[in-house]
Each structure stands twice: as structure tokens, then as C-alpha cells.
Amino acid sequence: MIPILPLRDAGDLFRREVGVDPEVEARVEAILGEVRRRGDAALREYTRTFDGPDLEQAELPQEALERAYDSLGESFQETLLAASANIERFHERQLPRDYVVTDTPGVVMGLRHLPIERVGICVPGSPTAFPSTILMNVIPAVIAGVKEILIATPPEPDGSVSAAALGAAYIAAERVRVFRMGGAQSVAAMAYGTETVPAVDKIVGPGGVYVAAAKRKVSGLVGIDMIAGPSEILVIADALSNPGYVAADLLSQAEHDTHAAAVLVTDSVPLAEAVQRELERQILLLPRREIAEASLRSNGKILLAENLTEAAETANRLAPEHLELCVADPFALLPRIRNAGSVFLGRSAPEALGDYFAGPNHTLPTSGTARFSGPLSVDDFLKKSSFLYYTSDALADVSEGIMDFAEREGLHAHARSVGIRTGKEK
């Protein structure tokens, strides 16, 4: 099912360009245009066409969120609350520091961090709206101080949204607005605004090819977090690793979709062969077996390295979304890792721990972009604004140099704006 190959055959496994389908691009362009022109009427039509229900009102009332939370049962409520607390505790430490510089006489300058005023969060609806995505996206926004948070998630055919998702929204923020809308039409509604959906300043969160294409097209009009590609996991495992654990972790990503990638790098041939057997056994137990099989067939590999140092360098080259270090001393190997979205250390930290509960964000860079980007964070919901103040004497002290600088660039009005204040106008 999944081949065992020498490391030289790794290729660029995670830098995969999922081609932009011209038909998808054209349909997204049409959807964006219709929602921009016709607002709620177009949004209602697309929701009926793609999701089933004919909704007079896309937004759910706040009472629906509280009722959903109350229906969840005490056990899952406790899990949601514990996960929420973990995510909050981790992300609170990301708040940046404003600063003021006053070490030059007559000069004051500094940097402020200001929350984005209104954000929209895309929450996938397949197979059901993900409560984990809501927690991971809403909580950092709340910590940043975002005033208004919209959640867009596609409804079920009967117009409902899963109680787990609504319950997560209820506990993630004092007040969020949940809209039953998905796909490119939800991105359009949040980017342009409609009669009932306010235009946002930034759109974050995952989605399928239509959401990704729509986010790409509205980027610039609004901010976006990233264009997420298929899910990825790279497991580095030594000879003492449990092959059942490793196989289960590979399958945890392979079941996402047929484009997902699951790769093992090991310096042990016996472990590689044992994981291969475990994959064949465990995949038969999965309800999403066909998806996992297609994923492993297209993008799954077991790679043999000479040693763990070589395995770490492979991770740096591939820059995976999720990286597991299933080795005896993961903290010794961690300093060698430079490119990874999130790193899971040891034999008791499966990737699913990060997806749902531990605290670090599960919205991560894909397709090799961990070489230059990182997880969703509080910083994604902040904007920076600098300020400066000079007294007239402080400006006079530096005026000739500024004027010379401006004139060398051919911008004489720039020079004049300084000279007119200091009696050095030319």
C-alpha cells in the first residue's frame, strides 16, 4: 500500500501545487460578482443550490448558541471548557509589547498594536462543522481585542448547524455572530458585505478549493491568514517506536482527504516494515477507509534515513505542517528542526492532541510554507501603527540631511516640506 524508499526518493513531497482548476476559478469569480451585486438574494440562492435549505435569515440568534451548548452533555462541555482554557493560556502569552523610544532629545516615537475591528472566520462543514476550528480561530481573536467576530459555516440540509460547533462558539467568546453560509459565497458576503452580513476587515480559517480560491481573489480588499493546502504529517521515528502508534498517526492525516500526505522517515528497516503492516491492518478499521487509501496511494511514503540527523534535515527540506519526533530523546533532536508548522515531541504526543486540546494553534502552514510562516496566532488579529513626534529644534538639527536625501531621489516637495519649517526652503 505505502512504499518503503531510500531517502533520495523523497522529492518535494509537501511542496505540492494543487492546480487551480479554471472551471473552479470561473465559478468563484461568478459567485463573488453575484454576491457583490445582489447581496442577500444571491447568498440565499447559492446556499439553497449548494447546501439545500432555503434560509430567509442566514444569521442564527444568540439564544441558539446557548441552547446548543446546554444540549451537549456535561462530559463534552467539560472537554470544550478545558480545551478552551488551554488554548487561551497558550495564546495569551503571544500578546506583543508596545514601546516608546525617547533617547534622542526632542524626539518621541513608538509602536502600537491595535486589534482588527471585525474579522470573519470560515469553518468547514464536512462532515460537520468543526468545533475545534472555532476555538482555535475565535480565542486568539478575542485575546487580540477584536470587537466583532463573524463565523461562517455551511448549514445542513435542514438548515441546522451542529450543536458541538455552536456550543464551541458560545464558550469561545462573549458574543460571536454565526452565519449559516459556506463556500465562495460566504467569503464574498464577508468581503463585500450584504444587507445583513457586515463587511469584515480580515478573513481567516480553512476551507475547500472554492473557499481557497475566493480568499485568494479578495485578498487585498480584505486581509487573509493563508491559503491552506492539503493536510500533511511527517513522522520521524526510531527503532524503539511502537509501529501501531506511528501507523495510527499517519492515518490520522490520511483520512482528511485524498490530497493529504502522510510520510514516515526512519533509520530502522524493521520499524518501516512493521509500520507498513500496521497501516494495512488499521486502515480496514476506518469509516473513511477509501479516502485514507487514496491519500496513502498518492502521497504516502516510508523513507529510510541513515540516522536521525539526516531525518531532521529531511524535515527541514520538506517543511511539513505537522512534524512528530517519535524518538527516545525528542528534546535533543528539536534544536535541529528549523522548518515545521508544529512539532510534537515524544511517543505520547499524537498530532490529534494538538488538533483538539493542548493549546498551540492547529491552523498551520502547508505546502512547504513553514519555511517562512507559522501557526495562526494573536498577531494575525492585530495591526501595527507607528508614531513619531519631533520638536522644532529636533527637526532643525536633521533638516539638511533629510532635504539632501529627498532631493537625491528627485522628490523636491518632500525637501520643501522640511525646509519650509526650518527656514531652509530652497
Query: Other CB atoms closer than 10 Å to residue 229's CB: what's the count?
Result: 22
Name 245's Cβ contacts closer than 8 Å, sequence gap at least 6.
326, 347, 350
How far is 196 from 118, CA to CA, in rounded Å?
A: 15
Distance of CA 337 to the CA centre of its chain: 21
Cell of 426: 530652497
Question: Phi first, then psi: what are they for 375, rounded to 5°?
Answer: -65, 160
Distances (CA, A) of 26 to 19, 29, 30, 97, 184: 14, 5, 6, 44, 12
Query: Other CB atoms closer than 10 Å to residue 371's CB: what's the count?
Result: 14
Return the bridge partners of 102, or none: none
Query: Among this protein's residues, is 414 annotated catalytic?
Result: no
Distances (CA, A) of 267 to 6, 137, 242, 264, 273: 10, 37, 14, 10, 12
Name 272's Cβ contacts closer than 8 Å, sequence gap at least 6.
4, 264, 266, 302, 304
Catalytic: which of 232, 322, 324, 362? 322
Query: Among this protein's residues, is 259 annotated catalytic?
Result: no
Name 254's Cβ contacts closer than 8 Å, sequence gap at least 6.
260, 262, 291, 292, 295, 296, 300
- Say which residue the cell 449559516 belongs to: 180
3-state helix, strand, coil in the chain (%, to 5): 45, 15, 35
How far is 37 from 193, CA to CA, in rounded Å?
A: 10
Cβ-contact 236, 154 below 8 angstroms: no
Catalytic: which of 232, 321, 324, 351? 321
How far is 413 from 400, CA to CA, in rounded Å?
A: 14
Angle subtended by helix axes 392-408 and 412-422, to nearest 10: 160
Cβ-contact 416, 389 below 8 angstroms: no
Task: Say whether 125 sits in a helix, a strand or coil.
Answer: coil
Question: Using CB atoms within 10 A of its CB, is residue 79 exposed (0-12), middle (13-18) or buried (19+)?
Answer: middle
Q: Which residues are identified as catalytic?
A: 321-322
